[in-house]
Structure 1
Amino acid sequence: MKFQKSDMFRDKIEMDFVIIKDKILKVVNNVEVMSIGGAAIPGALTKGDLDVVIRVGRKKFPNALKALAATFKVHHKEMWNEDFAIFKDVSYSPKVDILVTVIGSKSDNLHKIQELLKENGKLLEEYNEIKLEFIDSKSKEYKIAKRRFYNKLRKILGFEEETIFSPPAGRQARLLKMI
């Protein structure tokens, strides 16, 4: 993996975000769409990819997933639950991940994590060190280290830690069948 300072990608990421946000809002409305991830944090190391979060009300979540699946590729089904889903826009390079969270749910913390990293230089430095440590390693090892770090941030913010995801069951399986 190759990382560079987010400032190198700022203009491109901002332009791509405007386009993706418009594309999303044509599919679902009454949602909040935000750019998150390393590329959206000044001084963070990033691959230059775009991560977007869509925050949606609980009642609208199933219909939003169905509408989004008609436009974007379903991604990481194993991570889906009753509050959270991931899509991917394959028409962009580098990749665009679209994370969908239910407002007020245990999964609705990505924007808070981003703000914490923007406000706390020491944590941002630690975030960058993790990226540098895994620059020549496999993606899986990096993702595990990043998940541990994000759990540390969740704990600081008073959120529940993310656990290892299990195969879809119950309501989660029904959500997946809808799309």
Structure 2
Amino acid sequence: MFELRRSDDLLPAAREILDQERRRLARLLSTPHELVLSGGSSAPGALTKGDVDLHLRVPPAAFDAVVATLTGIYQVVRPEIWQPTLATFAVESDLPTGVAVTPAGSEHDLRFTRTWQRMAADPALVDAYNDLKRRHRNDPEEYERRKSAFFDEVTTLRVE
């Protein structure tokens, strides 16, 4: 079971971590890139486990080189979920912080970008996400399964 916290309470610290990592990556990466706040801490009113999620978007041709560079800087996490368009790392910080790296325009990039943009714009989606977290926080495997299905649904929503 994990404790849930309101994203609004973490936002100042999450923004500071985002700024620190942007400065670090600006020194380390010569390729164009975009680092954005993602995850529960990025959506007002969302419940979070108290962690910060960052999403690093890079040009498709630079993905492998960026991942190789970050492997020497950040701790690799969950290598079993890595895909040709997704790599995940942990950042040493005041709060537990992760970085998901994706090639811009890839399936994983669109999944992260669309889901969190849509949730930030639609309080009903945030409420549904919060409900999912509350109901399944005692079963991490079920939570991950349901969260993935929720992301699939939100990513493919038709926006009019």
Q: Return the TM-score normalized by structure 1.
A: 0.81
Matches within 5 A, 1:17-96: 17-29=18-30, 30-89=32-91, 91-96=92-97
Matched, 1:143 2:153: no
Whether the 8 Å contact between 2:18 and 2:35 is mirrored in structure 1 is no
Supply the distance in 2 between the matched residues of 1:80 and 1:157 (Cα, whole angstroms).
Answer: 28
Whether the 8 Å contact between 1:24 and 1:68 is mirrored in structure 2 is no
Corresponding residue of 2:106: 105
**C-alpha offsets along residues 63-88 of structure 1, whole Å, 9 cap, x if unaligned?**
10111111001111121122111111
Matches within 5 A, 1:94-173: 94-109=95-110, 110-135=112-137, 137-156=138-157
Whether the 8 Å contact between 2:42 and 2:120 is mirrored in structure 1 is no
RMSD: 1.6
Q: Shift of the alpha carbon at 1:98?
A: 0.5
Supply the distance in 1 between the matched residues of 2:12 and 2:103 (Cα, whole angstroms).
Answer: 29
Q: Shift of the alpha carbon at 1:93?
A: 4.2
Supply the distance in 2 between the matched residues of 1:26 and 1:141 (Cα, whole angstroms).
Answer: 40
Identical aligned residues as a percent: 23
Supply the distance in 1 between the matched residues of 2:25 and 2:56 (Cα, whole angstroms).
Answer: 9
Q: Return the TM-score normalized by structure 2.
A: 0.90
Structure 1's consecutive aligned runs of 4 or more residues displaced over 4 angstroms after TM superposition are none
Corresponding residue of 1:177: none
Q: Shift of the alpha carbon at 1:48?
A: 2.0
Corresponding residue of 1:10: 11
Q: Shift of the alpha carbon at 1:9?
A: 1.1
Aligned positions, number: 156
5+ residue gaps, structure 1: 159-179
Supply the distance in 1 between the matched residues of 2:28 and 2:88 (Cα, whole angstroms).
Answer: 15
Q: Shift of the alpha carbon at 1:157?
A: 5.3
**C-alpha offsets along residues 40-69 of structure 1, whole Å, 9 cap, x if unaligned?**
111111122110111111111111011111
Supply the distance in 2 between the matched residues of 1:129 and 1:77 (Cα, whole angstroms).
Answer: 29
Change (3 A) 1:134 1:32: same
Whether the 8 Å contact between 2:55 and 2:102 is mirrored in structure 1 is yes
**C-alpha offsets along residues 77-129 of structure 1, whole Å, 9 cap, x if unaligned?**
1211221111111x224311100111111111212211100111211110010
5+ residue gaps, structure 2: none
